[in-house]
Amino acid sequence: MKLLEDRIIQTGRIINNEILKVDNFLNHQIDVNLINEIGKDIASIYPNANKVVTIETSGIAIAYATSLALNNCPLVFAKKQASKITSNNNYTAKVKSFTKSVTYDISIDKSYLNKGDKIVIVDDFLANGNAGVGLVELIRQSGAEILGFASAIEKGFQGGRENIERLGIKVYSCAIIKAFKDNKPVF
Amino acid sequence: MKLLEDRIIQTGRIINNEILKVDNFLNHQIDVNLINEIGKDIASIYPNANKVVTIETSGIAIAYATSLALNNCPLVFAKKQASKITSNNNYTAKVKSFTKSVTYDISIDKSYLNKGDKIVIVDDFLANGNAGVGLVELIRQSGAEILGFASAIEKGFQGGRENIERLGIKVYSCAIIKAFKDNKPVF
């Protein structure tokens, strides 16, 4: 998606050829025009989805835009829990944090995932794919069908795509960064 | 806003005449049709706003819908921090948690609040108003103009409106619950 690649080039900040900061349009300040286009792009790949699932916090805006482009279908965001709350009312999974060496629980109330659902999972970033893998494991407990996973920005050199595809799940990203070179993205 | 009042009556769950759970359309599963209408309602009160500010997590969807109804103006969400990170690049304020007896920091990068901004602050709930007061204090550091505060659901018996109005800020809520009686809302 050229619009997103251009924006990453123009306003993304890359630190130490490793960290990409897109605070300016994606996960602190949100450019609603751009995110609407990202939502349309994702919806065009999964036009038969009837529910959008994401994870708090930064996935919510993209999930909202995706839902807008899918006839305002329901969206559900998984909650992250630092502490471990066991509840019979929730589907849960464990996710290993990429940046911090901790494992956290994610959960969704069982009422909001059902057998007839055709789900697209969305997130802002795809790095090592741990959050995506956790969401797939969680959703599969419900019997809902997963049409695929979509991220706005994929860091294509961190193995996330392979980790999710290994579960039999299709992966799409609006922009795929192959590498960082001289603190610039290579698409 | 009758649509929202009806939905609270139909699907909200009130526990011990105190806690209102609206997980089913507002802060876990999101009914995008309804939230779009909430956004339009808020935008109709503050039609001159050119930036929407909220606080993670549950405010983001409502802020997105409000921005859609304000010509896709930028939206910014304040981040909550458990640990205290002092940074010269952020405006910060302290917020006392209503449910837990802890104080947390909220912050917004200085780049995203500017003097020409005409801001509407939005949140999902207005209870005691501590988050709203914190956001007002934070935004005022930037010199941006605050047109007002808006919540989807106000619990009108917990003093939040008075706490925000005391700062000279207009308050609007789409639905105002005067009391809970027999685990039912009274509007």
ipTM for the whole predicted complex goes beyond 0.90: yes
A74–B112 C-beta distance less than 8 A: no
Distance from CA of B187 to the nearest CA of A (A): 27
For A112, the token pair is 């909001």
Task: Choose, out of A33, A64, A113, the residue to mutate when testing the contact with B (most B CBs < 10 Å).
Answer: A64
Q: Give the DSSP H or E segment for B146.
A: strand B145-155
B82 pLDDT band (50/70/90 cuts)? Answer: low
Model confidence at B83, pLDDT cuts 50, 70, 90, reads very low
Pure H helices in A12-125? 32-45, 60-68
Q: What three-state secondary structure class fits B169?
A: coil
Region of poorest pLDDT, from A69-83, A107-121, B132-146 = A69-83
Q: What is the C-alpha separation between A50 and A74, in angstroms, rounded?
A: 7
Which residues in chain B are contacts of A64 at CB distance < 8 A?
30, 32, 35, 60-61, 64-65
- How far is the alpha carbon of A71 from chain B, nearest alpha carbon, in Å? 9
CB contacts, 8 Å: B35 with chain A:
64
Residue B16 has pLDDT above 80, yes or no: yes
Helix, coil or strand: residue A182: coil
Mean pLDDT is lowest, of A55-59, A81-85, B42-46, for: A81-85
| Whether A75 and B36 lie within 8 Å, measured CB to CB | no
Does A86 score more than 60 pLDDT? no
Banded pLDDT at A40 (limits 50, 70, 90): very high
Query: Is the backbone peptide bond immediately before B92 cis, with ω within 30 degrees of 0?
Result: no
Q: What's the pLDDT at B84?
A: 53
Query: Mean pLDDT over all residues of chain B?
Result: 94
Query: Are B32 and A56 a contacting pair at CB < 8 A?
Result: no
List CB contacts (< 8 A) between B32 and chain A: 64, 67-68, 72-75
Contacts 24+ apart (CB under 8 A), B89-96: B91/B138, B91/B139, B91/B141, B91/B142, B92/B138, B93/B134, B93/B135, B93/B137, B93/B138, B94/B134, B95/B130, B95/B131, B95/B133, B95/B134, B96/B130
> How many angstroms separate the CA atoms of A169 and A136, rounded?
8
Chain A residues with CB inside 8 Å of B65's CB?
Answer: 64
**Which one, of A172, A108, A87, A101, lies nearest residue A130 by Cα?**
A101
Closest C-alpha among A5, A69, A72 to residue A40: A69
Does the beta carbon of B120 lie under 8 angstroms from any beta carbon of chain A?
no
CB contact under 8 A, B30 and A111: no
Q: Averaged over B130-158, what is the pLDDT?
A: 97
A140 touches chain B (CB under 8 A): no
Q: Could you tell me which residues come within 8 angstroms of residue B58 by beta carbon, excluding any fewer than 6 positions away?
A: B26, B27, B123, B124, B125
For residue B65, pLDDT over 50 is answered with yes
The reported pLDDT for the residue numbered A83 is 47
- Give residue B167's pLDDT: 98
Model pLDDT, residue B91: 95
Phi, then psi, of B49 in degrees rounded to 5 = -65, 140
Q: Identify all chain A residues contacting B75, using CB atoms and an 8 Å cutoff.
A: 29-30, 32, 61
Who contacts B11 (Cβ-Cβ below 8 Å, separation ≥6)?
B22, B24, B25
Q: Name the residue among B57, B73, B108 with its Cβ closest to that of A60.
A: B57
Could you tell me the two tokens for A29? 């300040």
Chain B residues in contact with A73 by the CB 8 A cut-off are: 32
Residue A6: Cβ within 10 Å count:
12
Are residues A81 and A105 in contact, defined by beta-carbon separation less than 8 angstroms? Answer: yes
